[in-house]
């Protein structure tokens, strides 16, 4: 496999409801990514595209529908979709295109427009459950993530307040991100006093529904070195899928995340991830998920993560800054685009271009992860400067 | 140097923009209809639910008793072996108290919240849980590890569906 670099990144603002169409959002992010590295579409050899359920748009050939906005005209273009994990999975998909030697440049574009779905995108998640054994009970994702969170808390004696600390941290950090859909700081009391949606999940423990797009440009080593002094290398990739019988495995630990992480670390030559990784962008659609994933990523010992969080270990100036972007909780959660936003964040952080969010001390190695479907898939990418 | 210049687009609309017709929009309502075949394993599962029993399937290689039953073991990737009746009792592995309906609308004031749970079924392999609902219980009394038993619909009302079990309720062994 050849070395692959990220050489450019761009994204739209994340907003609750965008005026732009999915195609227009894709264009904005793609153009911004191309501009960031001074390339034009004719310099791009192929397109890797990620977007989550077709049902949000009601256009059931979403990849092809969006392709024009992703720069896909007259090029080898391919879409991936693994639920919430799509945003991080898409760069793995793009990485293969270049690492294989088939292409020297690849655009990776992720888009989501959730506001199309009426009255609320959450209702469409009913259709991801088994039609006979589960759907008749009328579940949604808030329910099952509440089940997972409750099990996780009970297993280690974590409290609702412990879990709410993540939302406070990420939401306030997100205010520094120019693409964030939020304007106001929050306190622990705000989180704990927000509406109880599905105990132990309150409304502000959950990332918002959003519209947005994000994109990066990948290049082979030869091309990357010609175009930039600061390539950010894709050092390792990994992904793993657990069974869709989600009730038949214990939810307190995301085993599949560990499998994906070990695959990525092995490729990156990382033996002690908690010592070697400088920045972590674990997937945080709900506050507890960031901690759950830090354990699955082997970046925090199981059952000790809250203590480390409280001790400031995951602060911007801590040993292992977590979600410097602000994460999905702080920036917004347009599903596939949110995962790609984490990739953009590592790119900017590792180049020292993250502005007021910049993690101090010249971080060299970062990990991004996303998670999806019936609490069963994780995609992990290690990036290094 | 900052990334700010590479963030463009994403023009936010407000509720007012939509409701007062300041922007155009098109509406559609899809009515997707399906008739799903139950398959070999779930057909039998439903037939037994109609009889007021829970049936599982074994894999004689990994020695799991699997519920819901399945025609192949996804771990060993081989055909599963024997049909095995399991109990209609179990243990709450985890639960939630939900004030939102499936479509994110809220339950009405005074309405009992939804009480979904993962229930590890007695007689199936340890950790083999199914999602169902709890009932006849004050939400504040629900605990992980609590023993529960299925409350079945009357035989004449059962249709061969997971909802033939109305819910699981707390249960003391005698």
Chain segment A121-154, per-residue pLDDT in tens? 888 888 899 999 999 999 989 999 999 999 999 9
Q: Would you call B42 and A133 a contact, using CB atoms and an 8 Å cutoff? A: yes
pLDDT at residue B4 above 80? no
Q: Per the structure block, which two tokens stand in for A231?
A: 């390539």
B130 reaches A (C-beta below 8 A): yes
Residue-level pLDDT at B31: 85
Closest listed residue to residue A1, CA positions, set A101, A90, A106, A92: A101
B154 reaches A (C-beta below 8 A): no
B97 reaches A (C-beta below 8 A): yes
A258 reaches B (C-beta below 8 A): no
Which residues in chain B touch residue A20, judged by CB atoms under 8 angstroms apart?
9-11
A69-109 pLDDT, tens digit per residue, is: 999 999 999 999 999 999 999 999 999 999 999 999 999 99
For A346, name the nearest residue in chain B, comparing CA atoms only.
B3
B28 reaches A (C-beta below 8 A): yes
A230-275 pLDDT, tens digit per residue, is: 999 999 999 999 999 999 888 999 999 999 999 999 999 999 999 9
Q: Would you call A32 and B6 a contact, using CB atoms and an 8 Å cutoff? A: yes
For A177, name the nearest residue in chain B, comparing CA atoms only.
B4
Contact A67, A50 (CB under 8 A): no
Number of A to B CB contacts under 8 A, please give it. 199
Q: Would you call A199 and B7 a contact, using CB atoms and an 8 Å cutoff? A: no
Torsion of CA A14, A17, A20, A22, to 10 degrees: 80
Coil, strand or helix at A286: strand
Which residues in chain A touch residue B47, judged by CB atoms under 8 angstroms apart?
none
B44-67 pLDDT, tens digit per residue, is: 999 999 999 999 999 999 999 999
Q: Average model confidence (pLDDT) for chain B?
A: 94
B26 reaches A (C-beta below 8 A): no
Q: How far is A125 from chain B (nearest CA, A)?
A: 8
| Domain spans, chain B | 39-170
For A176, name the nearest residue in chain B, comparing CA atoms only.
B4
pLDDT at residue A335 above 80? yes
Burial zone of B154 (CB within 10 Å; 0-12 exposed, 13-18 middle, 19+ buried): exposed
* Rounded percentage of chain A residues whose pLDDT exceeds 70: 100
Which residues in chain B touch residue A150, judged by CB atoms under 8 angstroms apart?
94-96, 144
Structure letter (DSSP) for residue A359: P
- Please name the member of B10, B104, B162 whose beta carbon is closest to the beta carbon of A136: B162
Q: How far apart are CA A34 and CA B155, in angstroms?
A: 65
Q: ipTM score of the complex?
A: 0.94
Distances (CA, A) of B111 to B98, B102, B145: 11, 15, 26
Q: Would you call B6 and A35 a contact, using CB atoms and an 8 Å cutoff? A: yes
- What residues have CB less than 8 Å from A70, skipping those under 6 apart? A26, A30, A47, A49, A77, A107, A109, A111, A215
Q: How many other CB atoms are there within 10 angstroms of residue A124's CB atom?
A: 21
Residue-level pLDDT at B115: 98
A120 reaches B (C-beta below 8 A): yes
pLDDT at residue A35 above 50? yes
Structural domains of chain A, with CATH: 4-118+208-384 (3.40.47.10)
Q: Average model confidence (pLDDT) for chain A?
A: 96
If phi over 0 gives left and psi between -120 and 50 gives alpha, with beta otherwise, what is residue A81?
A: beta
Angle (deg, nearest 10), helices A335-350 and A86-99: 60
- Please name the member of B67, B100, B103 whose beta carbon is closest to the beta carbon of A198: B100
A68 phi/psi in degrees, rounded to 5: -60, -40
B60 reaches A (C-beta below 8 A): no
A148 reaches B (C-beta below 8 A): yes
Q: Would you call B9 and A250 a contact, using CB atoms and an 8 Å cutoff? A: no
pLDDT at residue B1 above 70? no
Coil, strand or helix at A3: coil
B119-165 pLDDT, tens digit per residue, is: 999 999 998 999 999 999 999 999 999 999 999 999 999 999 999 99
C-alpha of A300 from chain center: 19
Which residue matches tokens 């819901």?
B68
Residue-level pLDDT at B50: 98
* Rounded percentage of chain A residues whose pLDDT exceeds 90: 92
Q: Would you call A247 and B131 a contact, using CB atoms and an 8 Å cutoff? A: yes
Contact A155, A148 (CB under 8 A): no
Q: In the predicted model, what is the mean pLDDT of residues A164-174? A: 98
Q: Which of B2, B5, B10 has the most A C-beta neighbours within 10 Å, making it the best mutation to test the interface with A? A: B10
Residue-level pLDDT at A107: 98
- Secondary structure (DSSP) of B91-153: EEEEE-EE-B-TTSPBPPTTPPPB-EEEEEEBTBPTT-EEEEEB-SS-GGG--TT-EEEEEEP
Q: Which of B2, B8, B9, B116 has the most A C-beta neighbours within 10 Å, making it the best mutation to test the interface with A? A: B9
pLDDT at residue B2 above 70? no
Q: How far is A107 from chain B (nearest CA, A)?
A: 15
- Please name the member of B4, B28, B98 whose beta carbon is closest to the beta carbon of A198: B98
Q: In the predicted model, what is the mean pLDDT of residues A363-369? A: 98
A190-222 pLDDT, tens digit per residue, is: 999 999 999 999 999 999 999 999 999 999 999
Structure letter (DSSP) for residue A298: T
Q: How far apart are CA B135 and CA B115, in angstroms?
A: 7
Please name every residue paired with A108 in a beta bridge, in sequence order, or none if there are none.
Answer: A48, A216
B18 reaches A (C-beta below 8 A): yes
* Sign of the CA dihedral running A122, A128, A129, A132: positive
A137 reaches B (C-beta below 8 A): yes
């Amino acid at each position: 496999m050849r070395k692959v670099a990220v050489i450019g990144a761009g994204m739209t603002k994340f907003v609750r409801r965008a005026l732009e169409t999915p195609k227009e959002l894709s264009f904005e992010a793609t153009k911004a990514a191309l501009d960031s590295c001074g390339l034009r579409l004719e310099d791009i050899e192929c397109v890797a595209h990620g977007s989550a359920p077709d049902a949000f748009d009601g256009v059931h050939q979403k990849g092809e529908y969006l392709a024009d906005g992703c720069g896909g005209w007259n090029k080898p273009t391919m879409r991936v979709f693994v639920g919430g994990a799509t945003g991080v999975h898409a760069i793995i998909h793009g990485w293969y295109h270049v690492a294989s030697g088939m292409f020297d440049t690849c655009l990776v574009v992720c888009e989501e427009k959730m506001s199309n779905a009426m009255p609320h995108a959450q209702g469409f998640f009913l259709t991801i459950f088994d039609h006979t054994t589960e759907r008749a009970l009328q579940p949604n994702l808030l329910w099952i993530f509440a089940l997972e969170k409750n099990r996780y808390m009970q297993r280690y004696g974590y409290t609702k307040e412990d879990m709410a600390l993540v939302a406070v941290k990420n939401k306030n950090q997100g205010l520094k991100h120019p693409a964030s859909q939020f304007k106001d700081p929050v306190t622990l009391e705000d989180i704990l006093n927000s509406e109880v949606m599905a105990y132990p999940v309150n409304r502000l423990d959950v990332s918002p529904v959003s519209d947005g797009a994000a994109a990066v440009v990948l290049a082979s080593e030869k091309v990357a070195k010609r175009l930039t002094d600061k390539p950010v290398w894709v050092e390792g990739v990994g992904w793993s899928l657990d069974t869709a019988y989600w009730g038949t495995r214990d939810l307190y630990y995301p085993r599949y995340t560990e499998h994906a992480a070990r695959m990525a670390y092995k490729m990156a030559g990382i033996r002690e991830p908690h010592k070697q990784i400088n920045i972590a962008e674990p997937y945080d659609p709900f506050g507890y998920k960031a901690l759950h994933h830090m354990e699955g990523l082997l970046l925090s010992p199981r059952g000790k993560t809250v203590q480390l969080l409280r001790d400031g270990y995951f602060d911007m100036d801590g040993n292992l800054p977590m979600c410097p972007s602000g994460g999905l909780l702080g920036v917004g959660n347009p599903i596939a685009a949110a995962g790609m936003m984490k990739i953009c964040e590592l790119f900017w952080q590792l180049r020292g271009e993250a502005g007021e969010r910049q993690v101090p001390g010249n971080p060299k190695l970062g990990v991004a992860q996303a998670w999806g479907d019936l609490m069963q898939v994780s995609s992990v990418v290690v990036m290094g400067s | 140097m900052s990334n700010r210049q590479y963030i463009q687009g994403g023009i936010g609309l407000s509720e007012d923009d939509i409701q007062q017709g300041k922007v155009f929009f098109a509406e559609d309502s899809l009515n997707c209809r399906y008739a799903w075949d139950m398959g070999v394993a779930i057909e039998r599962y439903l037939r037994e639910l109609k009889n007021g029993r829970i049936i599982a399937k074994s894999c004689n290689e990994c020695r799991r008793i699997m519920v819901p039953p399945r025609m192949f073991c996804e771990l060993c990737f081989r055909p599963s072996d024997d049909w095995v009746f399991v109990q209609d009792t179990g243990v709450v592995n985890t639960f939630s108290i939900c004030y939102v309906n499936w479509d994110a609308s809220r339950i009405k004031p005074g309405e009992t919240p939804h009480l979904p749970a993962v229930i590890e079924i007695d007689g199936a392999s340890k950790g083999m849980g199914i999602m169902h609902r709890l009932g006849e219980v004050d939400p504040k009394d629900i605990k992980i590890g609590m023993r529960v038993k299925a409350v079945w619909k009357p035989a004449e009302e059962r249709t061969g569906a997971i909802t033939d079990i109305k819910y699981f309720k707390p249960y003391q062994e005698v």
